[in-house]
Amino acid sequence: MEIGPILRALWHNKLGAMLIAVQIAVTMTVIINAIFIINERSRLMARPSGLEEANLFHLTSVGYGDDFNEQVTSDDDLNMLRQLPGVVNATAVNAIPVSGSGSSTGVRIDMDDRTANVGTAIYRVDEQVFDTLGLNFIAGEGFDVTDMRYRSSAGTTDADKVVMTEALAAILFPDLTPNEVIGETLYTDQVTALQIVGIVERLQAPWPSWENVESSVLIPEQFLDTYSLYVVRTEPGQRDQVMRAAEDLLAGSGADRVIRGVNSLEQTRSETYGADSALSSILKTVVVTLVFINSMGIVGLAVFSINKRRKQIGTRRALGASKFEILRYFLLENLLITTVGVLVGAVLTIALSIVLTTNFNMPAMAWYYAPLGALALIAIGQLAALGPSVRATTITPATATRTV
């Protein structure tokens, strides 16, 4: 191997090699952090919401007029929706998970210690919500119709039961099993005492980027106002046609109201994660572009370097180098330049990651990103240099005796 002479030769003619090494280092720094961000976003987007999203849609009814009766309209709407062909169940809620819009509150187990409040999403629901959303109980049970309480301008009766997610139970009762949590009392910000009757495996909050996104409580309580939000679960494969039928059904029911916001849960998720998805797409484009530019830089340097050294290559062949030894020389030279680039790049990658973690509240990059990125860039570099290096082997030894 000719590592020593190659390094010494590069040292005497270092500008081109240094530029490529710097390009590789910068490329590595950007693409490794970009790939980490892409993966992090993908992981966030892939988290299950706890719902059977493929078969769910939601729609909003907004009443108007003096004769509009909120409770009657809501009960009638839910009855009509449940009888619609293709519908499994329907429920009224105050917010849609992963929609970006909803309510939160603080909950604690010690009534007097407000400092122990844990932030959680609060869903005000009816007793059909568990079946409609497809929530999975790991302890206890849901509500029945007698548990329902209503809030309106005429008066308010507070609910006294609650179902929470497993993640919230683990925060509030770290030493208890889910079954042991059933029957315990929970206090809200408003010092309402709620008896815990059930724990569901998962129900995400409406805000995906919230740190407490896995903490949610469900309370059997409804606001009686002109605004009603319904979630409908359909038979598999019938969601889209049922969506249209449900909209027509409610719009033609004769009540003084408008129907709007008819969307599948998948649409809602897509809109909520739109910025993340767009960022991922932009970063993927940046990664591909940088890898391409980097590869072209290596190809360019290799082609330039080989064209400049045609006579040297011919001389080496005349002095006894085989074609393989010429190929090995140029691949080794490229490997050394790339290795310097990725070593500098690894330091810069970690430094940028620390900056992002410190200043932008991003999670720390896993240790294996830098070495895997370095190996990938070395492989890409060798592939880029392979074509020009193979061309170098076609330079004949007789080139050594040519004067032009």
Question: What residues make contact with another protein under the rule CB under 8 A?
Answer: 2, 4-5, 8-10, 12-13, 311-312, 315-325, 396-398, 400-401, 403
Q: Which residue intervals of 115-264 are DSSP H helices?
A: 129-133, 166-172, 178-181, 239-251
- Residue with smaller CB distance to another protein, 105 or 315: 315
By beta-carbon proximity to another protein, the closer residue of 62 and 335 is: 335
Closest CB to another protein among residues 14, 284: 14
Question: What phi and psi values does residue 230 have, to the nearest 5 degrees?
Answer: -110, 140
Long-range CB contact pairs, 306-310, < 8 A, 24+: 306/330, 306/388, 306/389, 306/391, 306/392, 306/395, 310/395, 310/399
Q: Given the DSSP bridges, would you call strands 193-200 and 161-165 parallel, antiparallel or unpaired?
A: parallel
Which phi and psi (to 5°) does residue 39 adopt? -65, -40
Closest CA relative to residue 55, chosen from 124, 131, 156: 131
CB of 8 to another protein, least distance (A): 6
Closer Cβ to another protein, 88 or 321, answer by number: 321
| C-beta of residue 2 within 8 angstroms of C-beta of residue 330 | no
Packed helices 14-46 and 274-308: angle between N→C axes, nearest 10 degrees: 160
Helix (H) or strand (E) holding 185: strand 185-188
Q: In the bound complex, what is the minimum distance in angstroms from residue 321's beta carbon to another protein? A: 5
Q: To the nearest whole angstrom, how small is the minimum distance from the Cβ of residue 334 to another protein?
A: 16
Minimum distance, C-beta of residue 390 to another protein, in the bound complex (Å): 14
Cβ-based nearer residue to another protein, 8 or 47: 8
Angle, CA of 274, 278 and 282, to the nearest 5°? 175
Nearer to another protein, 82 or 391 (CB): 391
Residue nearer to another protein on the CB measure, 6 or 203: 6
Instruction: Give CA 186 to chain center in angstroms.
Output: 32
Residue 15 CB, shortest distance to another protein, in Å, is 12
**Cβ 338 to another protein shortest distance, Å:** 19
Query: Bridge partners of 89?
Result: 233
CB of 14 to another protein, least distance (A): 10
Q: Measured between alpha carbons, how far apart are the two ends of the chain, in Å?
A: 30
